[in-house]
Amino acid sequence: MDSMLPPIVLEPETKADACVIWLHGLGADGHDFENIVPELQLPADHTIRFVFPTAGKMPVTVNLGSEMTAWYDIRSLDLLNDVDWEGVDNSVQFVHTLIESQISSGIESDRIILAGFSQGGMIILNAGLTFEEPLAGMMALSTYFPEPRGTGAFFLQPKSCPVFMAHGMNDPVCPFVAAEQSRQTLIGLGLQPQWHTYPMQHQVCLEEIKDMGSFIRHCLMIE
């Protein structure tokens, strides 16, 4: 993966004491979800820092080797079984570094939410579950979660960590059945993901954005 650009950072009006790290999907960049923040219906005086990193560019197999921003290679349409685990591991380590950076800045780990769309969602689930300090929550949007390698015993995140899963019922990119199977995989690991479905394709919608705002407020105990 090529070197990455500095993340886009949106600071609150007052000192931040919480953070949302939000990963984009294949071929997008850190600006992809930047404009959603005002639509989350957060209080005007919220203290949440939003961090939107951009993946480096790499050849993507399913796109005939074309280079584009990607958190890992998509080798085939068999998303749950043909996985570029080396690429996933590299991006997971990158997210862990982002989390550690926020902790070093003074934000407690249990005030940090990970969010990701499509590829980004797959990364944040793996990054969150393998992070040893408790997080505030994870938002997995229009994504999937392959069966863990081995027994999954390397997952260090408390099973009580809130997980928000959202998917379009007409998604042609990440099939709905793959998302449902992924939800069952997470349940099998002892998690209790909140499951939200919407009449949309591979995208986000206004109702979903509203639900995400509610999830963020709940996880960070914001009125």
Of the residues 32, 84, 118, 142, which is catalytic? 118
Q: Which amino acid is at 148?
A: P
Contact call for residues 118 and 70 (beta carbons, < 8 A): no
Of the residues 91, 171, 182, 211, which is catalytic? 171
d(CA 95, CA 124): 7
Q: Is 203 helix (H, G, I), strand (E, B) or coil?
A: coil
| H runs (alpha helix) in 153-202 | 176-188
Of the residues 101, 110, 196, 202, which is catalytic? 202
Active site residue 167: no
- Torsion over CA: 99, 147, 61, 177 (sign): negative
Q: What is the β-pairing status of strands 57-60 and 66-69?
A: antiparallel
d(CA 97, CA 78): 29
Could you list the active site residues? 118, 171, 202
